[in-house]
Copies of this chain bind each other. A is one copy, B any other.
């Protein structure tokens, strides 16, 4: 993941694996931000080589780089890297800005883990005749490239724009290519082109570039026509007219956006097929912040890789400094972005981060609302009440959990970032058992089944590539009422292979049968020529920190209701009185002991803490 895009592009080109990248613009509102990030998460599943975030409207617009403003270009690019695991390139325009301003922006970008810049001139902040560019400014993109190289050496990867039809301000394509050559000579790594409407235009442009000695990769920029309005908008912006046969066809379809989009997908797919045949290494898509058309084209081309095997069982960050990260506590399994955010200030993620027992410092969740429908818009609040209802008793709360697990109208709970139960739960025998658990007064929020030596490319449980095996200890985490908790402790005394850890909200009750504060590996993988990789642990040291977060999440539910309402009291009662408990079972085959556990107490009837073993 890490480093400069040119290395990844060269690697793909050498392996003859076509890639794609996706361009997005920053949202205008916070709600738009929430939408964009969930779109980025969905698009990440297709495994783009990188995403590309355009510069805030108006060159030098300070809001574009304000990392505190969640809608700024910088904030979106860094969040894509740090929280969505996507490599991201940030646009940067120089017109109207001073050298110092640019330097400052680049330092900010570096600080947030951004390694790649698309260097553009951009439009001047004013077209009025009396506007004077700043004295110590950078008038052209070439100057910006030189400035980046002189101030930051090789730190940043630099991309520049190519204009197959010539830059709107330029007298000819040939003259424009002269400027492009200057940009590349100044230190740019590769070129992404503006949109074009036929393959020939692009290929002739590439030939001319090669003829003047431009040898770096040139990535065609593809604009899927998605509606009549967007076509009009874009041709205005790029000052390019679509060929008459395309314009004619779109005109015929009038304002039937769906038909136009289908047509757009069709012609873009064909163009991409032609370009692949002509030898392009990959494509850059101008998505206009939409996903359907681009996704369809990618699927047509066979470039959408939904089932790509994960390198580790959790969402990796694309930030360089986290590249060595190889272990995380399981507690944040359903809230990876929360974990990433709370650990963003950590200096390193060495092998065995969880091996020493010093208490790690977790940061807060400022800005986290962008990544979750937990953001309290009126619409979101209404949706939650629709899902979670007005519980009158704790049994009603249990029912909500059961409906979540069984997919009956509850698509999210506060402890889950994503709006779907992951396939590890729904595809396994755990499914039924958790339903029973939740029917019996226990509220499960996290779990994984026992896995013994499944192939590492297994569709549900696999990670780490093709040639290994993956393993898991069974894990279950839940809120439990004090009464049931006491009964459970009695039962657990008989099971030396089960370790547990439980705390109430204020930490005044803590119970565990752990004899040390060492981390307990719950997921591991066996691969040729390697040590055992153990990327997920239950860590007694960070459990109290997670406990605070988990109890606080009841707030999201409780505050839906009036302060004096019964529903509010029910939720508050649970938060104040229940315990958060995790149990790990080190049993890799079905054992007699589970049957005992199942029958030993009425409340555990029908409960199997450890499900059937999942064997190859």
Contact = CB atoms under 8 A, between A and B. Distances in A.
A146 B72 CA distance: 76
A466 B586 CA distance: 12
A518 interface: yes
Contacts of A534: 531-532
Interface in A451-501: 452-453, 466-469, 471, 473, 496-499
A507 B4 CA distance: 39
Interface string A258-279: 0000000000000000000000
**Prevailing SS type, chain A contact patch:** loop
Contact of A355 (B498, B528, B531): B531
A498 B528 contact: yes
Interface string A502-536: 00000000000011101111001011111110100
Interface string A342-354: 0000000001100
B453 A586 contact: no
A532 B529 contact: no
A531 B537 contact: yes
Interface residues of A, number: 37
A453 to B, nearest CB: 4
B586 A526 contact: yes
Given A355-B351, A453-B453, A616-B589, A473 B526 contact: yes
Nearest to A524: B532
A588 interface: yes
Contacts of A586: 467-469, 526-529
A318 interface: no
A520 B528 CA distance: 7
Contacts of A453: 452-453, 588-589
A400 to B, nearest CB: 33
B520 A530 contact: yes
B469 A588 contact: yes
A514 to B, nearest CB: 5
Given A453-B453, A496-B467, A584 B529 contact: yes
Given A452-B452, A496-B528, A528-B586, 8 more contacts: A351-B352, A351-B355, A453-B588, A469-B588, A499-B528, A518-B529, A518-B531, A521-B531
Q: Which 8 pairs from chain A and chain B are nearest by CB? A: A528-B586, A499-B529, A453-B588, A521-B531, A521-B532, A520-B529, A532-B532, A499-B528
11 contacts: A351-B355, A352-B352, A452-B453, A468-B586, A471-B526, A498-B528, A499-B529, A518-B530, A520-B528, A524-B532, A532-B532
